[in-house]
Amino acid sequence: GLTLARALREAGVPDVTVYERYAQPESLGAGVQLSPNATKVLTALGLKEPLSAVAFYPQAVQLRTWRTGYLIAARPLGQFSEARYGAPYYHVHRGDLHGLLLEAVAARGIPVRTGRVCRGAGEDDEGPWADFEDGRARHDVIVGCDGIHSAVRDSLFDAAEPVFTGHVAWRGMVATADLPDKLIPPTATAWLGPERHFVHYYVRRGELVNFVGVVESHRWTGESWREPGERAELAGDFASWHPMIHHLIEAAGEVYRWALYDRAPLSTWRRGRITLLGDACHPMRPYLAQGAGMAIEDAWVLSRMLERWEDQPASGLEEYERYRLPRTARVQARSRAQGEEFHLSDRRAVWARNFKLALGSRYLPEIAMKQFDWLHGYDCVRGFE
C-alpha cells in the first residue's frame, strides 16, 4: 500500500490516502528478499539510496544438502546479477523496508490514517466506499492492499476457504555478533532435506541473520504468522541437520511459526472502481521469495494505468488486471512447484534433482541463469514509463 501511494503521487495523482489498521507501525522481525524486478521499481521511486543504506548485498544463492552441507549448486548474485538485470538483489529487514516507505510517503505529503480497521468495500450510485470500524470513507478508486485476510476481497467476492498446504514455517532472527565469526556466508543459503528445508541470509547491512525453516506437518494449523513457538520444538524438527543450523537456532531469541495456506485463484480482482493488490489477490508461497516483489510490481503498474486512464479509472483497473494476472499466476504456480522440489524424499528423485541443479551450476551456468531471466529480468518500469 505504501509503495502504491508513492507511485501514484509520482504518477501525478494529487489526492492519495493510506488507511492502516495498526495504530503504530510495527517493526516485525522478518526478512524480505528483493530481487531486481522489485528494486527497479523502488529505484524509480527515488528510493535507491535509502534502500541501499539499510539492505544487505548478497553474493550468491547456495543450495546445500541437509546433513553434510555439501554444495549442490550455486547461482551468482552481487555484481554479476546486477550487471545482468540492471538492478541489485537485496536482503532487507521488513521493519527497515516499512520504515523507508513510510518516510517516502510522508515526504510527498501523503496522509496515513492509522488505527483504521477496514471491514469491507463496495460501490453505489455515489461511487466507491470503504467501511471502517469508525465510519465510511469515499474515494474515486479504492485498492485493497490488506493482505491474505483481505476484508476488501471478501466483500467483493465469495470468500474462498483457505486450504492448508501441509507446510508449517518457523522464522527467527539472530544478531550476527552472537554467532561465531564468518559462520554464515554472504549468501542466501537453502538447505534441502526430506519433507523440509531451511533458509538463512543476512539483513540490516549484515548486522542480523534471518532464518526460515519449513516443515511438512499436519500437527498444527494456526494461520497467524506471529504465533510464538518453542526453540526446543524447532530444534526437534531439524534434528540431525547440519550443526550450522543448530548454531542459528540456539542463538535465536524468540522464534515464531505459522501454517502456510493457499487461496483459490481469482478470475478477476476488481468490481467497478475497486481492485486488489499483492497478497489480497495473489497470495504467494515463499519458495521463490517473490511475495513482496509481486506487490511492488503491482503498485507500479497500477499507478501507471490510473495515470493513463485518468478520466476512466475503471478502464485503468481493467488494464492493470489484464497485465498483472498472468504474471502473478505464473509466479504462484512456480512457487508451489519449487516447494515440492525442495522437499523431495525419494532417493532417486533427490539424486535426479541434485544432478540437474549441479549440472547447470557447474557446467551450464548460462542456461541455469536463463531460468530466472523471466522473473528477475522483468522490467515493469521500462514497460510502463
**Which residues are identified as catalytic?**
201
Beta bridge partners of 171: 212, 256
- For residues 99 and 186, give the distance between their C-alpha atoms in angstroms, rounded to a whole number: 24
Residues ≥6 apart with Cβ < 8 Å to 173: 29, 30, 31, 203, 208, 209, 210, 211, 252, 253
Residue with cell 524486478: 37
Residue 360: CB atoms within 10 A of its CB come to: 18
Q: Which three cell numbers stand for residue 377?
A: 529480468
DSSP 177: G
DSSP string, 238-251: TTTS-HHHHHHHHH
What residues form DSSP beta bridges with 305? none
How many CB atoms within 10 Å of residue 277?
Answer: 27
Cell, residue 381: 518500469
